[in-house]
Amino acid sequence: MTQQLNAIDNTGFKQFGFSEGVMQGLEAIGFENPTPIQTQIIPHVMAGNDVVGCAQTGTGKTAAYLLPILHRIIEKPVEGINTIIIAPTRELAVQIAQQLEGFSYFLGISSLAVYGGTDGIEWEQQRKALTQGVDVVVATPGKLISFLNMDIVPVQNLQHLVLDEADRMLDMGFVDDIMRIISYLPETRRTLLFSATMPVRIRELTKRILKNPVEVNIAMSKPAEGILQIAYLAYDKQKTKLLAGLIKGRDLPSVLIFASTKIKVKAIAKELKAEGFEVADIHSDLEQSERENVLLRFRNRQLQMLVATDVLSRGIDIENISLVVNYDVPRDAEDYVHRVGRTARAEQTGIAITFINQEEQQQFSRIERLIGYEIRKQMPPEVLGDGPEYDPAVNKPKQRGRPGQKKGRRK
């Protein structure tokens, strides 16, 4: 089911019975109507139910849990930490913390972001703040555990635990960390789990740590309708030149490029730099401060292009990206939707281009099956020579690609 942000809903946010301060926060941030996931999730969180939300970034899931939690914190303050939100990456943690700060401006609710890689002074400040008990902590798993192990964090009255991007956390091997964190938390808490996908492992985790959860499913397996999706059939050696040619001379102030490996990411950034573009790369080899700096420059439009590994494709909210490029076809078909979802957020239009080499054609046809339609495929311009013919069935004995793609199509 395709769900778009900002579905028209005249009752707006009033329907939820939020306290005055939360409504003021909403006004300040400029949200007028709830998104579908907000409409479905907020009443359950307000009612104090455990919730499993199958939803990806771009649906408004962050506000879907933050708003009712903030309301409940005001209604029923507790001694010590009220809410812990766990995110798989620092970038997502920072982003959640920023939304939280925006909403809680009028509420006098304290929050703290706790994630790895910070220096000694910051560590001491975090330790102090945690010991004193802030209302909401947003954390990555490893860093939170190191504080919980010290037995200084007042979690005995914890009301809410939120696990955001739970599938990604499992992918990154955080399951033991999560269980360890939970072992410190009171049974009386509410648990909210969000995940873009619902594989068996997530269902099992849900059974272990949630109580009679309400399940809400807003999985978008289709990119938003405002996105123009194009694919180019290109050999690897053609891809960077093709990319440079597509961008040069066009009004594309913000281009996000995804590639499959760190090595590729670095090489592409280098090649694009040599072509004269303002470009940086981002991947796990960078220090946290470097990653944040790069993201900031990209957000501020000081950098036209950012080349990233998959770490960035989920969870990161950078608005108004003019073009998303899949330099490689994503291995996981859902990742395609995530990546393409970086553009055309909240009802804007955007462009997503995918480069498909010979080996990637089956993967691409899998993506087309997931989204339920074919994407127009083009050959590179004449000067670069023809790309590979499109025939996803060739290396795919079990399932044939969708009919309708002519071999060697030039337009």
Residues that bind ligand AMP (CB under 6 A): 5-6, 31, 33-35, 38, 57-63, 317, 319, 345-346
Closer residue to ligand AMP, CB minimum distance, 35 or 104: 35
Q: How far is the CB of 61 from ligand AMP (least distance, A)?
A: 5
Residue showing tokens 């470097």: 290
Cβ-in-10-Å burial (0-12, 13-18, 19+) of 14 comes to exposed
Pairing relation of β-strands 160-163 and 190-195?
Answer: parallel
Q: Closest Cα partner for 291 from 302, 271, 306, 277?
A: 306
Q: How far is the CB of 299 from ligand AMP (least distance, A)?
A: 12
Closer residue to ligand AMP, CB minimum distance, 6 or 221: 6
Closer residue to ligand AMP, CB minimum distance, 197 or 240: 197
Tokens of 402: 């969708």
Q: How far is the CB of 251 from ligand AMP (least distance, A)?
A: 23
| Residue 347 phi, psi dihedral angles, 5° rounding | 70, 10
Q: How far is the CB of 31 from ligand AMP (least distance, A)?
A: 4
Q: Are 251 and 395 in contact (CB under 8 A)?
A: no
Query: 237 in the Ramachandran plot: left (φ > 0), alpha (ψ -120 to 50) or beta?
Result: alpha
Q: How far is the CB of 58 from ligand AMP (least distance, A)?
A: 5
Closer residue to ligand AMP, CB minimum distance, 38 or 240: 38
CA 394 – CA 276 distance, rounded (Å): 38
Q: Closest Cα partner for 318 from 336, 302, 342, 348?
A: 342
CA 2 – CA 14 distance, rounded (Å): 25
Closer residue to ligand AMP, CB minimum distance, 30 or 173: 30
Residue 60: other Cβ atoms inside 10 A: 22
Q: How far is the CB of 245 from ligand AMP (least distance, A)?
A: 31
Closer residue to ligand AMP, CB minimum distance, 317 or 386: 317
SS3 28: helix
Q: Are 227 and 340 in contact (CB under 8 A)?
A: yes
Q: How far is the CB of 393 from ligand AMP (least distance, A)?
A: 36
Q: How far is the CB of 287 from ligand AMP (least distance, A)?
A: 25
Closer residue to ligand AMP, CB minimum distance, 63 or 379: 63
C-alpha torsion sign, points 221, 222, 227, 233: positive
Closer residue to ligand AMP, CB minimum distance, 13 or 174: 13
Fill in the DSSP letter of residue 112: E
The number of residues in the chain equals 411
